Amino acid sequence: MKTSEELEKEFIQASQEKTGKTLEEWMTYLEPKGFTKLKESVDYLKKEEGINHMNATFIGGILLNGGKPVYDSSVLFNAHFEKYPDKREMYDELEGMVKDNFPNVQVVPTKGYISFRNNKEFAVAKINKGNIRIGMDLGKREFDNYVQKAKSLGTMPRIAHMIEVTDISQINDDVVPFLKEANNQVNG
């Protein structure tokens, strides 16, 4: 199954074939219309221009993203540290630890968090002002002072547990068993 980023890249490369205009031509054409909501741009493209829903969504999303791809992983990744650049070193330590323990892990940035996937998502990192929240799918595991009930992660409900780290020293071997448990819970 292709990711949203892969689908968007394919659309951008073939936009003229799929829609009759290049992406740049769509941006020039649509910008004066002043769309501020994705739905209104998508509805317009479907009704007035005869564009199918998926292609209209790509065009509208890119338009509202200043003409830039919505699913560019490097842009999504870097956006997590724009407000909190001081959390980058701590995040890099976490990502390194995850990669050391899960050599095939995929690190996938989204708008709200950074996802760790071993086929399926088993953990996430949410960058905040005072901490990094490591969200995990630990099934029915009980909460305690260390593994808390997840809050403000912006993820699916199954990511119901989290460990909050406020200092790089807290990204240590204590976290690893919980990440392994989450991976086993999701990816068996």
- Among 50, 71, 92, where does a domain finish? 71
Q: What is the pLDDT averaged over residues 141-158? A: 90
- 25, 40, 71: which is the final residue of a domain? 71
Three-state helix/strand/coil letters over 18-77: HHCCCHHHHHHHHHHHCCCCHHHHHHHHHHHHCCCHHHHHHHHHHHHCCCCCCCCHHHHH
Q: What is the pLDDT of residue 1?
A: 66
How many distinct helices (H) and strands (E) make up the chain? 7, 6
Whole-structure pTM over 0.85, yes or no? no
Q: What are phi and psi of 152, to 5 degrees?
A: 55, 45
Please check whether residues 28 and 66 belong to one and the same domain: yes
Residue 65 and residue 88 share a domain: no
Q: Are residues 94 and 12 in the same domain?
A: no
Return mean pLDDT, the chain: 93
Domain that holds residue 15: 4-71
pLDDT at 75: 80
Q: Which stretch of 1-5, 82-86, 123-127, 181-185 has the lowest confidence by average pLDDT?
A: 1-5
The percentage of the chain sitting over the pLDDT mark of 90, rounded to a whole number, equals 80
Write out pLDDT tens, residues 82-132: 999 999 999 999 999 999 999 999 998 888 899 999 989 999 999 999 999
Which pLDDT value is given to residue 158? 86
pLDDT of amino acid 4:
78
For residues 90 and 175, membership in a common domain is answered with yes
The answer to whether residues 144 and 138 touch, using CB atoms and an 8 Å cutoff, is no
Q: Give the total number of structural domains in the chain.
A: 2
Say yes or no: 98 and 64 in one domain.
no
Q: State pLDDT tens for residues 56-66.
A: 999 999 999 88
164 shares its domain with 88 = yes
Q: Are residues 81 and 64 in the same domain?
A: no
Do both 136 and 50 map to the same domain? no
Query: Is residue 3 predicted with pLDDT exceeding 80?
Result: no
pLDDT reading at 147 higher than 70: yes
Do 100 and 150 lie in a common domain? Answer: yes
pLDDT tens per residue, range 37-80: 999 999 999 999 999 999 999 999 999 988 988 887 888 898 89
